[in-house]
Amino acid sequence: MFSNQKLKIVRYKQIATKQDCFNVLSDDVTAVYAWFRDLTLSEADLASEEMFVDTITQWLEDPLPLSEIQEADISLFYKLGVTIKSEKLREKKDISLRQYAEQENIRKEIGQILEIATFLQVPLYIGKTSNRLASRIWEHVNRDTDLWNRLEKVGLSLQDCLLVYLPISNLDDIESDLTPLVQVVEDIITKLSRPGFVRRSG
**CA pair distance 132, 38, nearest whole angstrom:** 24
pTM: 0.85
User: Which amino acid would we find at residue 191?
Assistant: K
User: What does DSSP say about strands 71-73 and 161-167: parallel, antiparallel, or unpaired?
Assistant: unpaired
pLDDT (tens digit per residue) in 86-135: 688 999 999 999 999 999 999 999 999 999 999 999 999 999 999 899 99
pLDDT of 64 above 80: no
Instruction: State the Rg of the chain over Cα.
Output: 20
CATH architecture of 1-39+121-202: 3-Layer(aba) Sandwich (3.40)
Q: Where in the chain is the domain with CATH 3.40.1440.10?
A: 1-39+121-202
Which has the closest alpha carbon to 6: 39, 37, 29? Answer: 29
Listed in sequence order, the residues at least 6 apart from 41 whose beta carbon sits closer than 8 Å to its beta carbon are: 52, 55, 56, 110, 111, 114, 115
**What DSSP assignment string belongs to 142-175?**
TT-SSHHHHHHTTT--GGGEEEEEEE----TTTS
Q: What is the pLDDT of residue 4?
A: 59
pLDDT (tens digit per residue) in 147-169: 999 999 888 899 999 999 999 98
